[in-house]
Amino acid sequence: MRLTSLFKYLKPPRGFRLTKAGKIFFFFLVCLIVISLSTGNNLLYLMLAGMLAFMIVSGIESEMNLRHVELDRVLPTEIHAQTPARIGYLVRNTRNGSSRLVLSDHSRMKITELHRQETQLLHMDATFHARGRAALGDIVVSTTYPYGLFEKSITFSAAGEVIVFPRPLIFATPPVSGVRDSGGGKAHDSISHVRPYAPGDPLSTVVWKKQHLGLVSRVMEGGSGMNGVVVLLPGADMETKLSHAAYVIAELHRMGRPIGLLLNNHYSGIALSREHKIRMLTSLALADTIHQPSIETLPNEAHIIYI
């Protein structure tokens, strides 16, 4: 612990790296130093002083370009595996204007100009390849301003973790997957709404009539819109089951239908709020195994969707 604290204390406040132009500049600077000391020529000393002054001015200008820069990372509410997630960054400089900044997180993004006291909202797409907990690193902002001799950088402490939900995979639910109900609604399915066709939709739901928006698919609603509970059963391909469950939960939430999840011995309850949806997706993201659930805990009016 003490060594870590000492390292943080001794760590320089700025990162520093020579560019290609900077390496050429310092090569000629070293050559000029050697020749000046060897010959004692006053003109060479004058040239050496000019190059050193040029380097000092470059360092001061780059420091003023980075100083007082502030940055915040804005994460989306839902991040799914193997799906690009748009991450936002609030960048501002409270005292100075900044130019030619480069923000490095999951990739590199250029910031051409940042005016004084201006806040810019920038976006960067990041893809997480696996569900579960994913680590987020620090954010680095660098610049080669003004002369491109070296790259100076500042590191913002933004380390943390994010929950990555399973990648949604289209799952065609049967008209009635199971109902624990005493009746009171229509037994047959009705058309809830239509949406643009997605690969994998059952052919029976596709509206083949040509429209200006392209093909559309009917979304069926069974049992007169009863509450739905997604029940995961053990099987060979666990990741596919979790992806299907994520798709069904998202679709039912978008349709405005209360939804619940039964995963192993955990029953989420039935609700319609976005927070409830996030909790169910989090349970899917952190699942280690799937074993036989107990449906006796489900309410009688639940419309069960087995996956």
Burial call 17-33: b when 16+ CB within 10 Å, e when fewer: eeeeebeebeeebeebe
Residue 299 belongs to what H/E stretch?
none
Q: Is 210 exposed, middle or buried (0-12, 13-18, 19+ CB in 10 A)?
A: exposed
Q: 3-state class of 247 per DSSP?
A: helix
Chain-centroid distance of CA 20 in Å reads 33
Average pLDDT over residues 91-95: 92
125 pLDDT more than 60: yes
Q: Is 62 exposed, middle or buried (0-12, 13-18, 19+ CB in 10 A)?
A: buried
Residue 23 belongs to what H/E stretch?
helix 20-39
Write the DSSP symbol of residue 68.
T
Higher pLDDT, 84 or 225: 84
The answer to whether the beta carbons of residues 135 and 212 sit under 8 Å apart is: no
Residue 111 CA to residue 117 CA, distance in Å, equals 15
Mean model confidence pLDDT for the chain: 83
**Amino acid code (one letter) for 173:** T
Average pLDDT over residues 210-238: 66
Grade residue 8 by pLDDT with cuts at 50, 70 and 90.
low
Joined tokens for residue 63? 């420091």
Joined tokens for residue 212? 């200006």
Whole-number pLDDT of residue 47: 92
Grade residue 195 by pLDDT with cuts at 50, 70 and 90.
low
CA diameter of the chain: 104
Burial call 89-106: b when 16+ CB within 10 Å, e when fewer: bebbbeeeebebbebbbe
Residue 80 CA to residue 166 CA, distance in Å, equals 6
Report which of 271, 290, 292, 289 is spatially closest to residue 280, judged by C-alpha positions: 271
Whole-number pLDDT of residue 214: 60
Average pLDDT over residues 72-97: 93
> pLDDT, tens digit, for every residue of 270-292?
998 999 999 999 999 999 999 98
> How large is the C-alpha radius of gyration of the chain?
30
The answer to whether the beta carbons of residues 224 and 190 sit under 8 Å apart is: yes
Q: 3-state class of 31 per DSSP?
A: helix
Peptide bond between residue 146 and the one before it cis (omega within 30 degrees of 0): yes
The answer to whether the beta carbons of residues 245 and 131 sit under 8 Å apart is: no
| Mean pLDDT comparison of 90-104, 224-238, 286-300, highest-scoring range | 90-104
Whole-model pTM: value is 0.74
183 pLDDT more than 50: no
Q: Distances from the Cα of 123 to the Cαs of 164, 229, 230, in angstroms?
A: 18, 36, 34
30 pLDDT more than 50: yes
